[in-house]
Amino acid sequence: RAIKFKTKMIKIGITGSVASGKTTASKFLSSRRGPLFSADKAVKELYKNKQFKSLVSRRFKIKNNSQIKKSLKKLILINKVNIQKLEKIIHPLVRKKMKNFTLQNRNKKLLFYEIPLLVESKLMKYFNVIIFIKAKKQLRFERFKSKSGDKNLFNLLNNKQLDDEKKIKFCDHTVVNEKNLNVLKKKLLAIINKYE
């Protein structure tokens, strides 16, 4: 009678500052290696959910539900407290989705999680390995702008994050992403080969 061995699952968290290239890195790392949970994608899905939308509309007294993201962006730029109010609603829901994702994929060897505020939200204990994607602020702003982001929003999101140096202390690997995609891929391969 064969004994079934439970595969030792390695949970890899990928984090970094705004527009550092986390998404690109996450997609590359997970491709053909294991499923990817994206916190940003989970948030996008929430905005398609009727219950979530009506809850947020009530909390923030938003009349027009179809323009909910635009209204929230305005409210957040007017008053920073609103971003904390919004996160209090969003974070627990995203965490629940993350838990479900882990359960659904518990038989996989490698699981990847792209979480922008991984360190800020003190989620380090959930991961076996944490990779930090790093890039200079100016370069990140250029990238953010190229995706039609504005300066105020960039600064607001950027200020929500801890300094790179503080975050690096909690991460196992740091990847500087300031050159082209090939350079980034090479650096990521050097790391992931250790765990495959």
**Residue 138, number of CB atoms within 10 A of its CB:** 8
Report d(CA 151, CA 109) in Å as an integer.
40
For the CA atoms of 157, 161, 164, 166, the dihedral, rounded to the nearest 10 degrees, stands at: 170
Q: Is 128 helix (H, G, I), strand (E, B) or coil?
A: coil
pLDDT at res. 5: 44
pLDDT at res. 6: 52
Averaged pLDDT score across all residues of the chain: 93
Asked if the model's pLDDT at residue 139 lies above 60, the reply is: yes
Asked if the model's pLDDT at residue 28 lies above 90, the reply is: yes
How does residue 140 score in pLDDT terms, banded at 50, 70 and 90?
very high
Amino acid at 76: I
Question: Comparing C-alpha atoms, which of 42, 34, 38 is closest to residue 116?
Answer: 38
Read off the pLDDT of residues 100-129 as tens digits, 9 standing for 90 and up: 999 999 999 999 999 999 999 999 999 999
Across the range 11-39, mean pLDDT stands at: 97
Read off the pLDDT of residues 37-72 as tens digits, 9 standing for 90 and up: 999 999 999 999 999 999 999 999 998 778 899 999
- Helix or strand (DSSP H, E) at 81: helix 81-104
Return the DSSP state at 5.
P
**4-19 in b/e burial notation, b at 16+ Cβ within 10 A?**
eeeeeebbbbbbbbbb
pTM value is 0.91
Report d(CA 146, CA 149) in Å as an integer.
7
Q: Are 123 and 41 in contact (CB under 8 A)?
A: no
**Residue 23, number of CB atoms within 10 A of its CB:** 18
Q: Is 90 helix (H, G, I), strand (E, B) or coil?
A: helix
